[in-house]
């Protein structure tokens, strides 16, 4: 049921993107909330698979304006792929850096890195197309839509999703975007303890 629901959501997202109806929302958010949500989703999953998971997020305590739900969706997709294609004993990290800041906005760079199976040079462009997957692996579920959606969402945010990988050595997916800074009076309420 979970798989069917995610398939349905992916198909809906992809058709929204293709008909140019996908719109991002803009609301103030705490990067911390996005990161701790990802920690909640992935920590246990990676532990159970015997993978060391590192969150190295410098801009965690800062406030931005943007579509935090879609940003989580991109990072969730990259992390769940990393988890799917990394074997027991492997390592996965999410790195986030604020690279620069002006009066009104900040540059942010994200990278999800793993030391799993990696992707051959021929497959590195293909995997971003809808329904395309590299070598099918028995028992690894997937629709081949996640990266196509993620790439389009990153583009809507003004960035570009790219991959560096060598077969057998793992993969690193990265993108950089700019987000407006949130002024004090617009800040979202601190979650209650």
Which positions lie near ligand ADP, rule CB under 6 A?
Answer: 77, 81-82, 85, 114, 116-119, 127, 133-134, 142-148, 171
Distance CA 163, CA 80 (A): 15
Closer CB to ligand ADP, 96 or 127, in the complex: 127
| Residue 52 beta carbon to ligand ADP: minimum distance, rounded to whole angstroms | 15
Closer CB to ligand ADP, 63 or 74, in the complex: 74
Query: Which residues on neighbouring strands pair with residue 163, listed in sequence order?
Result: 173
| Residue 150 beta carbon to ligand ADP: minimum distance, rounded to whole angstroms | 7
| Residue 10 beta carbon to ligand ADP: minimum distance, rounded to whole angstroms | 8
| Residue 38 beta carbon to ligand ADP: minimum distance, rounded to whole angstroms | 15
- Output the CA torsion 4→6→7→11 (10° steps): 140
Three-class secondary structure of residue 175 per DSSP: strand
Closer CB to ligand ADP, 21 or 136, in the complex: 136
DSSP single-letter state for residue 20: T
Is-contact 100 107, C-beta < 8 A? yes
Is-contact 30 70, C-beta < 8 A? no
Is-contact 24 66, C-beta < 8 A? yes
Closer CB to ligand ADP, 66 or 118, in the complex: 118
């Amino acid at each position: 049921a979970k798989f069917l629901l995610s398939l349905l959501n992916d198909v809906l997202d992809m058709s929204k993107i293709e008909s140019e109806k996908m719109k991002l929302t803009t609301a103030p958010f705490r990067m911390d909330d996005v990161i701790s949500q990802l920690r909640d989703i992935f920590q246990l999953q990676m532990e159970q698979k015997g993978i060391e998971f590192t969150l190295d997020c410098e801009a965690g305590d800062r406030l931005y304006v943007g579509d935090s739900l879609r940003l989580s969706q991109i990072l969730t997709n990259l992390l769940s792929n990393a988890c799917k294609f990394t074997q027991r004993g492997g390592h996965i990290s999410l790195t986030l850096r604020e690279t620069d800041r002006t009066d009104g906005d900040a540059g942010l760079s994200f990278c999800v890195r793993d030391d799993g199976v990696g992707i051959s040079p021929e497959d590195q462009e293909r995997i971003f197309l809808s329904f395309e997957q590299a070598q099918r692996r028995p028992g690894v579920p997937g629709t081949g839509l996640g990266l196509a959606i993620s790439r389009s969402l990153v583009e809507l945010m003004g960035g570009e999703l790219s991959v560096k990988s060598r077969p057998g050595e793992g993969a690193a997916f990265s993108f950089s975007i700019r987000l407006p800074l949130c002024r004090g009076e617009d800040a979202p309420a601190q979650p209650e303890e």
